[in-house]
Chain A
């Protein structure tokens, strides 16, 4: 009986220990999740916008611009019971996020260039995104990123939010609770559900893989693609193959990428970076052809867009070697993790070519605070911020032949703490108690 009680107490304590974190992990939009766009006063569209899911407004009633805007997998709800309930649920979700404790305060820091792991990130006032914000889900399909922004959220033209290592779940992993209004800049690619107290504006050509939910103000659209997750979401579109073979200057190159998971036909495009000089991508077939003329390492992203407008992409790194080059091998294969403000030093080496070699960052970026010595290959410094950083280091030998290797460097928050199961005193106590327990049992059993 006592044993059962003890086990029950231990179980209860363990359950309580994890319940707080479970609360953080569960953000529900209620019926608002069925809306791609939900406004408080008006919803106004200009141009060929596509919204996956319902478009609604409440307590206002004006929804204009559909058509030319298109609602896919949903309907327009103009201050009806559905829209009113969605607004109620939106308020509940907004308040839930607002009451979640911050784990990292980013006030004053531009989101551009940051790589963040799941957590609750806060701004006491405005938040700005200029460039690319990378959300690394660390392979966890249930990873969650919460952004609590005290006032306005603004993204510069061409900015993007990219979710990587999503654990096979391409659905929204980010919620943006915005204390006033959100403005998504021209051509930006945004990810995550925006829950704004006032208005949300998508400027020309910006896209969002997440909902636009405004409590009191207007949602303004202009030739956008607003995609939502769940039953209404786009399917996961995969671009293959995972890697492309390298090429050689002067040798014709012919490889194709393909796409799957969506509705054919697909249109292929280079969405970031650039193909090696003189290679071209056929947008209809995905064939990459041509004869490379310039050696080097090229990093680019190919995006496939299916017949319904849903898209998927994959980043490639291709090395074009000089004719007659042998393979340059970059080592080590992995780099160890570092800790913030702690000295870090690792040396990259190269082999297979003609020394001396020069080293350079040719893709991604080193953790802030670390730098690469182009002559010695030494990566050294003291990392300034925690996170997971992807970087590709290239090596070039004296003949101009090149090789590269991609690394992931984990920077931990502070010096790792240790956690002995039992320290010396604990081990001594356990040893004495085991002997005492054995003698006790032997006495009781008359052994």
Chain B
């Protein structure tokens, strides 16, 4: 195995973490990581040597996720009410929730995918706004607003988990 493959190997744990944050299911998350690794290998030439592989790999994975997400939505397997339209966000009281792991991951899944991705990249994976902007191919200001809105959404959902679950719509 060459140096570059070893460098990629070292990124797999972080890729799995980001994928798991994007997708609810661990197997689906690992499928996404596997697809990303395969795509990365087929495009090794696009990676300049000496460059940090993390951003490159995360960009590949994010683009695959967006493709998949669009397909899933088109198939209309399940639909959520857009969070923007829900009543949940009507100024919930600030309170200290005692969220356990499962709650916070569930809550994360109900945030819109755009905000979820931005929030995780910055707050968990430690990318700067500028790095996340490059990765997501959006302006840094948009990253900033997605992160802050995502954070507000998460807080609202954690504060009002039951009501949120009640308005989840699953189409037959």
Q: Do these two chains interact?
A: no
Residues of A within 8 A of B (CB): none
